[in-house]
Structure 1
Amino acid sequence: MNNLQALFGNIDIYLFDQLLKCTYNQCHKILDVGCGGGRNIVYFLQQRHDVYGIDPNPDAIVAVRELSVMLTGKDTASNFSVGSAETMPFEANTFDLVICSAVLHFAQSKQHFEAMLTGIWQVLKPGGYLFARLASNIGIESLVQPLGNNRYLLPDGSERFLVSEQDLMHYTQKLNGYLHEPIKTTNVQNLRCMTTWCLQKL
């Protein structure tokens, strides 16, 4: 294993970009919503940040607890629990950074999406950061097929809740957030698009 992989793991490349820019240098208490096996928190665990995670998959929580112990040498099992964004098991204004990568596009409706987003936003401290990656229709508006409830069939055959750039700007304003990075979208051969949404809570 090379040094970069050992230090950062299989981190989302756009989250890695924020680390290189030192955006989160003052973020000490971190939550990964939909943490899976912990691929986006390897660096934070090794740097001894206070890291938490939730995921609806119990097997993922077992895996991330094992990863945390391996990387920190501490019993941090209680920091990771089965849970979801819309039923957040934390107090308001708790975290300096919330990571939410490839989660929000599993919303079943606009109401579900907003409940997830509200749950995430509430646990952020004022001045805290949200790093979100989610599917969007940006650049493939004419290629996706509406299924109802803001869900769409993508050209790659998957079904996702999709947002537009207008939606993201609307929610940024509604949350009283600050877009500290321009919205960036990766188009994968017109099969799907993933958008990076980086906010700071004012």
Structure 2
Amino acid sequence: MQTPLQKLYGNIDIYLFDQLLKGTYTACHKVLDAGCGGGRNLVYFLQNGYDVYGIDPNPEAVEALKQLAKELSPKNNKKNFKVAAAEDLPFEDATFDLVISSAVLHFANNEAHFDSMLLSMWRVLKPGGYFFARLASDIGIENLVEDLGNSRYVLPDTSVRFLVNEQLLLGYTENLNAYLHEPIKTTNVQNLRCMTTWCLQKL
């Protein structure tokens, strides 16, 4: 049985929840979850009048999100949910007020793939819009990961991920002419993996 908080917010990323509590996205209307899965980060948005979109390369995940949206927000167009890759988003430039990328970018195959995913998501974001990313990094476990080349590493938990570091994220922030509206934050999970939150506003 769901708790009252789960009914309101779903199994939302805790750092995305933090931004909602701070009111960061209050003025946002059109929201894209790029790598939406079954929609765990979209429950609040669906129930509170946002125009919600989602893409995922997994057709079953997209279908699950369509069913979730049908239950929580019948007026939200089911055509907003598409099978697509983050690096090839089927949307016009400057479409969204908020783009969410939770646990997506660390599945990049190499640096070029990471770059293409990020720039695709940035392209569809409106000036003044917000970009929320949560991704694996080597921050704090630099000496515990095994380098496989192309910025891919074996983590202590044995998973293989594309890992970023603070220098890379700050470099992209500058190159995108973005505003880092929150400090870069990293959670170390008992030295098994580290997850970093990267919150930008498009100037």
Q: TM-score, normalised by structure 1?
A: 0.99
Q: Could you tell me whether the CA contact under 8 Å between 2:103 and 2:135 is conserved in 1?
A: yes
Partners of 2:32 and 2:76 in 1: how far apart? Answer: 17
Query: SS of the residue aligned with 1:59?
Result: helix
| Alpha-carbon contact 1:96-1:128 (below 8 Å) kept | yes
State whether structure 2 residue 120 is matched by structure 1 residue 119. yes
Superposition pairs of residues 40-189 of structure 1, within 5 angstroms: 40-74=41-75, 76-189=77-190
Q: Which ranges of structure 1 fall in alignment gaps of 5 or more residues? A: none
Are the aligned partners of 1:65 and 1:76 in contact in 2 as well (CA < 8 Å)? no
The aligned amino acid for 2:115 is E
2:51–2:76 Cα contact (<8 Å) kept: no
Q: Once the two structures are superposed, what CA deviation does each residue of 1:154-180 show, in whole Å capped at 9, x if it has no partner?
A: 000000000010000000001110100
SS of the equivalent of 1:142 reads helix
What residue number does 1:29 align with? 30
Check whether the contact 2:52–2:76 (CA below 8 A) recurs between aligned residues.
no
In structure 1, how many angstroms separate the alpha carbons of the residues matched to 2:120 and 2:76?
27
- What letter matches 1:24 in structure 2? Y
Q: How many residues align?
A: 202
- For 1:17, give the aligned amino acid: D
Q: Spell out, residue by residue over 1:52-97, the C-alpha distance to the aligned partner (whole angstroms, 9 max, x if none).
A: 0000000000000000000012362101000011101000000000
Identity value in percent: 69
In 1, distance between residues paired with 2:143 and 2:76? 50
Structure 2, gaps ≥5 residues long:
none
Q: In the aligned structure 1, how far is the partner of 2:85 from the partner of 2:165?
A: 23
**Alignment partners' CA distance in 2, 1:156 and 1:6:** 31
Counterpart for residue 202 of structure 2: 201
Amino acid in the other structure paired with 2:162: F
Q: State the partner residue of 1:16.
A: 17
Which letter maps to 2:202? K
1:181 to partner: Cα distance: 0.2
| Mapped partners of 1:158, 1:128: distance in 2 | 33
1:48: Cα distance to partner?
1.4
Distance 2:41 2:30 in 1: 14
Q: Distance in 1 between matches of 2:4 and 2:89?
A: 35
Aligned-residue CA RMSD (Å):
0.7
* Cα deviation digits, residues 122-164 of structure 1 (max 9, x gap): 0000000000000000000000010011100000000000001
Q: Which amino acid aligns with 1:2?
A: T
